[in-house]
């Protein structure tokens, strides 16, 4: 049997340089930031994904970037979880959220996909929606216009300047989930986006 890990952190995105700096690839970018912070190389090809293993917050972690394109993310995630002995409670799924404001961050212990097709596919393969996830806001909490276009357009200049801070915060949130658990991390990291007067759900 393959090595067992305490956590599997899967960032959702699309492979290919044309998608690298788009909102739909925030999951990949957070995994890359975590990897950089902990000296992990996410470069080994396994189960149609790029993976890297190392230690985060003192625990053995597998970092995963599925290479199937967003809407088919569930297959690689599920296969790697079974292969490496990780149950749903040990999965941290990181992805973009069209219904949350840009730069906001939400940790949840489970719940629906909220229309996100990559998350829908993970839920379908796992047979449960009860796994921790980190949602990253990309669009001011509004759905006007073409959602598919919004998630695949390149970050603008202002967003690129703000991206580093967002990725640092997201990486810290994942580290907190691993070290302190979901509930405490929700208290620490679920916060209002800049300029909002009320907490978003």
Which band of pLDDT confidence, cut at 50, 70 and 90, is reported for residue 122? Answer: very high
Between 152 and 190, name the one with better pLDDT. 190
Which band of pLDDT confidence, cut at 50, 70 and 90, is reported for residue 99? Answer: confident
Average of per-residue pLDDT across 43-61: 97
- The CATH code of the domain that includes 176 is 3.40.50.1470
Task: Name the nearest CA neighbour of 163 among 143, 145, 137.
Answer: 137
Q: Which residue range is the domain that position 176 belongs to? A: 7-189
Per-residue confidence (pLDDT) for residue 144, from 0 to 100: 54
Tell me, yes or no, whether 2 lies in a domain: no
Per-residue confidence (pLDDT) for residue 129, from 0 to 100: 98
Task: Clarify whether 24 is annotated catalytic.
Answer: yes
Tell me, yes or no, whether 164 lies in a domain: yes
Exposure of 86 in the CB half-sphere (CA atoms within 13 A): 29
Helix (H) or strand (E) holding 165: helix 157-180
Tell me, yes or no, whether 70 lies in a domain: yes
Tell me, yes or no, whether 141 lies in a domain: yes
Tell me, yes or no, whether 198 lies in a domain: no
Which band of pLDDT confidence, cut at 50, 70 and 90, is reported for residue 197? Answer: very low
pLDDT of 85 higher than 90: yes
pTM: predicted TM-score of the whole model, two decimal places? 0.91
Mean pLDDT of the chain: 90
Residue of 24, 78, 84, 139 with catalytic role: 24
Domains in the chain: how many in total?
Answer: 1
Instruction: Tell me if 114 sits within 8 A of 99, measured CB to CB.
Output: yes
Tell me, yes or no, whether 19 lies in a domain: yes
Instruction: List, edge to edge, every strand of the sheet that includes 59-66.
Output: 44-45, 49-56, 59-66, 7-11, 91-97, 133-137, 105-108
What gap in Å lies between CA 31 and CA 53, rounded to an integer? 12
């Amino acid at each position: 049997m393959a090595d067992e890990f305490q956590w599997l952190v899967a960032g959702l995105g699309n492979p290919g340089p044309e998608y690298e700096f788009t909102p739909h690839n925030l999951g990949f970018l957070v995994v890359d930031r975590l990897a950089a912070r902990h000296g992990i190389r996410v470069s080994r090809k396994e189960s149609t994904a790029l993976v890297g293993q190392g230690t985060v917050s003192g625990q053995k972690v597998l970092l995963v970037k599925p290479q199937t394109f967003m809407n088919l993310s569930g297959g690689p995630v599920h296969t790697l979880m079974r292969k490496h002995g990780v149950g749903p409670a040990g999965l941290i799924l990181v992805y973009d959220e069209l219904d949350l404001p840009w730069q906001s961050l939400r940790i949840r212990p489970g719940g629906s996909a909220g229309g996100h097709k990559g998350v829908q596919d993970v839920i379908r393969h796992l047979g449960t929606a009860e796994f921790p996830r980190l949602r990253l806001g990309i669009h001011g909490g509004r759905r006007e216009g073409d959602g598919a276009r919004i998630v695949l357009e390149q970050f603008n200049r202002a967003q690129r300047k703000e991206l580093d801070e967002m990725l640092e915060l997201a990486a810290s949130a994942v580290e907190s989930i691993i070290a302190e658990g979901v509930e405490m991390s929700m208290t620490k990291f679920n916060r209002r986006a800049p300029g909002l007067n009320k907490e978003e759900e």
